[in-house]
């Protein structure tokens, strides 16, 4: 697919747009204006129009956007037209919570395998997901052709696990550890650092009165 | 504190800088260059210099940055010089994981109270945190002067709980639900949407070969 490179901030809003379009579709709505979208998802309408402009002429002036067309468009670029299997590595508290977290409910994403070192977890099924020993990780990732891994291992083994994951041909890591991973250039890492999120929120509360 | 308004992207990097400076301090290092910082935390050095420039002259050309001074500076603006108590609302799988998540380990943040509707959880202590019934939420938030709430309730009650939280004088919400909350202008909401994070990561993997 030939496409302009879009900003990361725009990419992060695409799932929001897609989810809300689904709601509109379920409600039987056939068209929507950028102002209505803006009110619903709390993003200003100029930003929405700019985001959409990266993908060409998706709407018509004075008409707005066709809900079904737009929904199909985002479904396609978000890969939601087919199931994506992901794996989770590290079934501690957070890993366990994510196994039971219903990603699937509003997305076409499914955790199809988990890996852990704890004998209590290995060869059990939690949240519908089989948990394999770490020794089988590379083999399973390859066999299941999994390209995305959720990393919820302790920080002190994060880099080592990332190295193995890279060898298995994974293309993306959602990193919940506080370590900044070093990976080959063809692997993308998104960091979800919960301490960082809280500290940033506290910073803004302390320093600004308004949003 | 009089300060320039800094971009959100910069604010999100401040905890990273602070954490790495702590590591340098613990290792007995007294100064650091923006290039060394860049290598360690995987942010390019031009971005680091621009980030720091928002806070005035923190370093000297040809010398780099004084580790202790810089660490103290970030400690102060990140509110890490004193403990911040936060509350968690909704002790399901994710809430339970966050109660046991060691925010405190590398930050001066502590979950001091949790709230839930499940009789099995109410009046128990999990991960060292007392869990109160929802009926006591507003009172406890006020009494403990808690200004930040982590929201891990089911999506269908998220807005209702946010309304109550707002009444209790809370200034910031870390929202893990998939709902876009409507709150008064003096409350700041940061959204951590895990489905969204995965979808965005998959989008980038699908559409770009390189980072």
CATH at A55: 1.10.10.10
Residues A98 and A26 in one domain: no
Q: Residues A141, A169: contact at Cβ < 8 Å?
A: yes
Average pLDDT over chain B, rounded to an integer = 88
Question: What's the pLDDT score for residue A57?
Answer: 66
* Bridge partners (DSSP) listed for residue A110: A85
Residues of chain A found within 8 Å of residue B109, distances taken between Cβ atoms: 195, 198-199, 202
Q: What is the pLDDT of residue B135?
A: 96
Residues A185 and A125 in one domain: yes
Q: Does B2 touch chain A (CB under 8 A)?
A: no
Beta-sheet strands, E only, within A15-153:
31-32, 59-60, 64-66, 84-89, 109-116, 125-126, 129-133, 148-151
Do B55 and B106 lie in a common domain? no
> Is A205 part of any domain?
no
B36 shares a domain with B95: no
Within 37-56 of A, beta carbons closer than 8 Å to B belong to 40-42
Please give the annotated binding residues of B, written as ranges: 90-95
- pLDDT at A163 > cutoff 70: yes
Residue A74 has pLDDT above 90, yes or no: no
Confidence of residue B117 (pLDDT cuts 50, 70, 90): very high
A207 and B171 within 8 Å at the Cβ level: the answer is no
CB contact under 8 A, B195 and A107: yes
Helices B8-26, B45-53: inter-axial angle, 10-degree rounding? 100
Q: B63 and B113 in one domain?
A: no
In a domain, A204, yes or no: no
A100 & A189 share domain: yes
Task: Determine, yes or no, domain membership for A209.
Answer: no
Parallel, antiparallel, or unpaired: how do β-strands A172-175 and A148-151 relate? parallel
Query: Token pair 């639900």 is at which residue?
Result: B177
**Sorting pLDDT into bands at 50, 70 and 90, what band is A104?**
low
Q: Indicate the residue among A29, A50, A78 that finishes a domain.
A: A78
Name the E strands within B47-133.
65-66, 84-89, 109-116, 125-126, 129-133
> B54 and B93 share a domain?
no
Q: Are residues B94 and B12 in the same domain?
A: no
First to last CA, chain B: 38
Lowest mean pLDDT among A43-52, A99-108, A148-157: A99-108
Q: Is B191 on the interface with A (CB under 8 A)?
A: no
Mutate to test the interface with A, among B83, B198, B210 (most CBs of A within 10 A): B198
Specify the pLDDT at position A9: 83
A93 is in an annotated binding site: yes
Of the given ranges (A1-5, A189-193, B41-45, B98-102), which has the lowest mean pLDDT? A1-5
Kindly give the pairing relationship between strand A84-89 and strand A148-151: parallel
What's the pLDDT band for A1 if we cut at 50, 70, 90? Answer: very low
Residue B211 has pLDDT above 60, yes or no: no
* Predicted TM-score (pTM) of this structure: 0.82
More confident residue, A206 or A190: A190
Cα torsion through B118, B123, B125, B130, rounded to 10: 100
Q: Which helix (H) or strand (E) segment is A77 a member of?
A: helix A67-77
Q: pLDDT of B194-209, one tens digit each? A: 888 998 898 888 877 5
Query: What is the per-residue pLDDT for A105?
Result: 67
* A169 touching chain B per CB within 8 A: no
Report if residue A211 sits inside a domain. no
Backbone angles phi, psi at B32, to 5 degrees: -145, 145
In a domain, A114, yes or no: yes
By residue range, what is the domain housing residue A13? 8-78
The pair of structure tokens assigned to A141 is: 């990732």
Q: Are A125 and A96 in contact (CB under 8 A)?
A: no
Q: Is residue B74 part of a domain?
A: yes
* CA dist A103 → A87, A100, A109, A170, A193 (Å): 12, 9, 6, 20, 19
Question: Nearest-CA distance from A25 to chain B in Å?
Answer: 17
Report the percentage of chain B scoring pLDDT > 90: 46
Which of A35-39, A64-68, B4-8, B172-176 comes out lowest in average pLDDT?
B4-8
From chain A, pick out residues whose CB is under 8 angstroms from the CB of B179: none
Which one of A93, A203, A207 has the shortest CB-CB distance to B101? A93
Tell me if chain A has a CB within 8 Å of the CB of B145. no
> Per mean pLDDT, which range of B26-35, B111-120, B202-211 is the poorest?
B202-211
Q: What is the pLDDT of residue B1?
A: 41
**Burial level of A196, CB count in 10 A (0-12/13-18/19+)?**
buried
What residue in B sits closest to A183 (Cα-Cα)? B211
- Report in angstroms the alpha-carbon separations of A63 from A32, A58, B116: 8, 11, 45
Q: How far is CA A75 from the centre of its chain?
A: 14
Q: Which of A29, A53, A78 is the last residue of a domain?
A: A78
Q: Do A185 and B211 touch (CB under 8 A)?
A: yes
Q: What CATH number is attached to the domain comprising A108?
A: 3.40.50.720
Answer yes or no: do B42 and B104 share one domain.
no
Task: Please indicate whether, in this complex, the C-beta atoms of B15 and A84 are within 8 angstroms of each other.
Answer: no
| Number of domains observed in the structure of chain A | 2
Residues B123 and B154 in one domain: yes
What local confidence, expressed as pLDDT, does residue A210 receive? 47
| Interchain pair B205, A190: CB under 8 A | no
Q: Is residue A119 part of a domain?
A: yes
Whether the per-residue pLDDT at B164 is higher than 90: the answer is yes
| Domain co-membership, A41 together with A128 | no
Q: Are residues B33 and B108 in the same domain?
A: no
């Amino acid at each position: 697919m030939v496409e302009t490179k879009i900003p990361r901030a725009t990419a992060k809003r695409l799932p929001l747009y897609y989810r809300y379009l689904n709601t509109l579709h379920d409600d039987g709505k056939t068209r929507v204006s950028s102002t209505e979208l803006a009110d619903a998802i709390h993003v200003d309408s100029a930003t929405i129009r700019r985001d959409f402009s990266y993908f060409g002429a998706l709407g018509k002036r004075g008409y707005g956007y066709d809900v079904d067309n737009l929904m199909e468009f985002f479904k396609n670029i978000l890969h939601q037209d087919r199931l994506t299997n992901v794996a989770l590595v590290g079934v501690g508290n957070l890993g366990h919570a994510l196994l039971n977290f219903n990603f699937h409910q509003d997305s076409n994403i499914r955790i199809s395998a988990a890996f852990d070192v704890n004998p209590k977890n290995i060869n059990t099924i939690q949240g519908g997901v089989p948990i394999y020993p770490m020794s089988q990780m590379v083999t399973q990732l390859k066999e299941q052709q999994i390209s995305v891994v959720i990393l919820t291992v302790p920080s002190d083994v994060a880099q080592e696990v990332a190295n193995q994951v890279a060898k298995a041909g994974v293309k993306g890591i959602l990193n919940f550890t506080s370590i900044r991973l070093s990976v080959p250039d063809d692997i993308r890492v998104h960091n979800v650092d919960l301490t960082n999120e809280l500290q940033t929120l506290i910073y803004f509360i302390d320093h600004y009165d308004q949003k």
